[in-house]
Structure 1
Amino acid sequence: MTAMRGAAAYGRGAGAYAKVGVESGVMSASPHQLIVMLFDGALASIRKARIHLQDGNRSEKGKAISKALEIVTNGLQAALDAERGGEIAERLDMLYDYIGRQLLAANRHDDVERLDEAERLLSDIASAWREIAPQAQATGG
């Protein structure tokens, strides 16, 4: 029983430490780095959803897809600045909307191909975003 309590306490402690690490990373991140973190989170959630889908764990698949959708719509899409971003922001808005619809359909129909499509598109955008990192740092963004 003591070993079980010790393991549980360790698990809570490790979870709290990880949360503090993430929060510290967010607090010290530049706006550009925050977007990279959003991409990473969405992509990780899609990968988790795929694993849960393949394992037949519909509940966890749904949670992972919901988390990815939340990041795409309330993180990446909400961060777009139509005024400053112009046509690029408009196109990204449409792309994020499409990705969101792919995620919803993947969840509704247990469709791995739609998950793959959402992941591929997000990976492509994330890759381009990472490439502009030196420019963003030089301009303070």
Structure 2
Amino acid sequence: MYKPFGTYGRAGAQYRQIDVTTRVEGASPHRLVAILYEELLGAIATMGQAIRVGDIVRRGESQSKALAIVGGLEAGLDFEKGGDIARMLVTIYAEVKRLLIRAAREDAQDASDAARKLVGEIATAWNAIA
């Protein structure tokens, strides 16, 4: 049976929203990007799990969330200050989007894993900058 709010129901979903809101309030721009990477990794992991168990609703929801976060990261790039790094990130984000779309369309666990690996590498590098 599909549970739209996971194991813990609506209370769990509300707690999760409060957690994200609390982490975002007062965060530096650098920390905000780190939070986006954390949320993106979580959405991709959820998508991968949904693919494994055949939960197409959760797969779609997590894919939508992941794609929205990638879009937000992409929109936040500063090509004047970021130069080559920003251009490289555009290419990586395009690949992540391609992999997420393929993962959902074909139930391709390998594509989901590859997207998570790419994002994980970027997140690790971003966190090392602190």
Change beyond 3 A, Cα 1:98–1:18: closer
Matched AA of 1:42: L
1:110 matches 2:104: no
Give the gaps of 5 or more residues in structure 2. 1-8
Q: 44-53 or 123-132: which moved more?
A: 44-53
Displacement of 1:17: 4.6
**Match of 1:37?**
35
Residue 80 of structure 1 aligns to a residue whose secondary structure is coil
Distance in 1 separating the partners of 2:92 and 2:75? 13
Distance in 2 separating the partners of 1:57 and 1:19? 22
**Match of 2:89?**
92
Displacement of 1:14: 5.8
Displacement of 1:13: 5.6
Give the gaps of 5 or more residues in structure 1. 1-10, 134-141
Distance in 2 separating the partners of 1:101 and 1:43? 16
1:66 matches 2:64: yes
Matched AA of 1:31: P
**Match of 2:54?**
56
1:81 matches 2:78: yes
**Greater helix share, 1 or 2?**
1
Displacement of 1:20: 3.0
Displacement of 1:112: 0.5
Residue 28 of structure 1 aligns to a residue whose secondary structure is coil
Matched AA of 2:52: Q
Change beyond 3 A, Cα 1:14–1:100: closer
1:74-129 Cα offsets, whole Å, 9 max, x none, are x2111110111001101111110111111011111110111011000000000000
**Match of 1:120?**
117
Displacement of 1:15: 4.5
Distance in 1 separating the partners of 2:12 and 2:110? 35
Displacement of 1:25: 1.8
**Match of 2:19?**
21
Change beyond 3 A, Cα 1:52–1:93: same
Change beyond 3 A, Cα 1:61–1:132: same
Matched AA of 2:54: G
TM-score normalised according to structure 2 size: 0.87
